[in-house]
Amino acid sequence: MSRSAIGARTAVYGVIGDPVGHSLSPLMHNAAFHAIGVDGVYVAFPVKDLAGAVAGMRALHLGGISVTLPHKVAIMDLLDEVEPTARRIGAVNTVVNADGRLVGFNSDSPGAMTALMEQTPIDGKQVAVLGAGGAARAVPTASSCMADVF
């Protein structure tokens, strides 16, 4: 889909955060939309007012958003539903607009585990997770083989 083809039927998606201008998500998602022929556009939205942004998502019927710092935890209270794994992690990084209901998910957990398992076997090993953000919260829940996380 070329930029000139964006119109009233174009689905709008985005990433919210503060800061968010450095995000490569728009470049990657827009390339994917183009490659598979989706009439969609993905935009970076710098957000300080999270409640206002969620209300805007509803009002504008955005298809979905990715959530990055500092909003991964706070957004949970503003959604209609939070998927159980995201609730257990305590952070949401993906919000889907399902016919007007905003549902939060967390893809950090499987993403981190996949990346880690490609590099090193961790079964039966103790693992230290450094950090306290949404992604760091997701790692220990990724697999039962990480039960000894400290």
Q: How far apart are CA 21 and CA 86, in angstroms?
A: 25
Q: Quick check: is 48 catalytic?
A: no
Those residues with Cβ within 8 angstroms of residue 134's Cβ, 6 or more apart along the chain or in another chain: 67, 69, 72, 73, 89, 90, 91, 92, 93, 106, 108
What is the rounded (10 degree) CA torsion for 25, 43, 56, 102? -40
Q: Which among 72, 89, 113, 135 is annotated as catalytic?
A: 72
Q: Give the chain's domains with CATH numbers.
A: 3-106 (3.40.50.10860), 109-146 (no CATH)
> Mean pLDDT in each 10-residue stretch from start to end of the chain (150 residues)?
74 98 97 96 98 97 96 97 94 96 91 78 78 72 47
Structure tokens at 147: 């039960």
* Residues 122 and 112: beta-carbon distance below 8 Å: no
pTM metric for this prediction = 0.81
